[in-house]
Chain A
Amino acid sequence: MKFGILVNEGPYQHQASDTAYQFVKAALDQGHEIVRVFFYHDGVNNGTRLTTPPQDDRNIVNRWSELAKEHELDMVVCVAAAQRRGIVDADEAKRHGKDADNIADGFRISGLGQLIEAGIKADRMMIFGD
């Protein structure tokens, strides 16, 4: 079965990202397909590689990056939500004249059309938020 995942909350602020991660892991373990993980609103904060949580805490961002690498997940960050919150890749940094980018491995910045497409392609759309 094909699952689409929407994450609307940032890491360490709300449990939504943790729940979404555990759901995705369990779905993959059962052989399901994850069409896309779309990060929207404060959920875009899951996509910055500059987070440094204490060593005895889970690294939510790295955890997503590692899962994406292992399973070739398509993880998309909403561009408008990202711009507001300072989540930028190299192209966005150049376009807006920023001195650095911070997108984490496995994440890409794109538009809301990617959320709609995931909803069309997936058998189930799972929403995790506040």
Chain B
Amino acid sequence: MLHTVNKSPYEKNSVDTCLRMAKPGSDVLLIEDAVYAAIAGSKLEDEMRKAGAQLKLYALGPDLKTRGIAEDSLIDGIQVVGYDGFVELAAKNECVQSWL
């Protein structure tokens, strides 16, 4: 299953809820303001790393770039994908859950 989250973790708790609810082995794609959750050295890093052991975490590259977040400043293990990768993830997974 693919989960997409689009809220900043500093504004809403959808990233946290998604990480807690997603079943192990799921793909989680951070888009729009949710890409802020991917930055290393934040108070979220521990939670993200723990989640990353069970889930596959992705961040949308164009949304990182728009917000001035360098790809080398991300938490290890978070894979950056473009819109083509977003489509591939949606096609690969049978269900898509948008955490709005």
Interface positions of A (Cβ within 8 A of B): 1, 3, 8, 15-16, 19, 22-23, 25-27, 29-30, 32, 124-130
Q: Report if B84 contacts A (CB, 8 A).
A: yes
Whole-angstrom distance between the Cβ of B56 and the nearest chain A Cβ:
18
Q: Which residues of B contact A29 (CB under 8 A)?
A: 84
Give bound CA distance, A68 to B26, whole Å: 33
Known: A15-B32, A26-B87. 20 other contacts (CB 8 A): A15-B6, A15-B63, A16-B32, A19-B31, A22-B83, A23-B86, A23-B87, A25-B83, A26-B86, A30-B87, A30-B91, A32-B91, A124-B90, A124-B91, A126-B96, A126-B98, A127-B96, A127-B98, A127-B100, A129-B98
**With known contacts A19-B31, A19-B32, A124-B91, A30–B98 Cβ distance under 8 A:** no
> B86 contacts which chain A residues (CB < 8 A)?
23, 26
- Assess the B90–A3 pair: CB atoms within 8 A: yes
Label chain A's interface by main secondary structure.
Answer: mixed
Chain B residues with CB under 8 A of A3: 90
B9 sits at the interface (CB 8 A): no
Query: 8 closest A-B pairs (Cβ-Cβ)?
Result: A26-B83, A127-B98, A22-B83, A26-B87, A27-B87, A15-B32, A129-B100, A26-B84
Closest chain A CB from B83 CB (angstroms):
4
In the complex, are the beta carbons of B96 and A124 less than 8 A apart? yes
19 contacts between A and B (CB under 8 A): A15-B6, A15-B33, A15-B63, A16-B32, A22-B83, A23-B83, A23-B90, A26-B82, A26-B86, A30-B84, A30-B88, A32-B87, A124-B90, A124-B91, A125-B96, A126-B90, A126-B96, A130-B6, A130-B100
Closest-CB distance, B15 to chain A (whole angstroms):
15
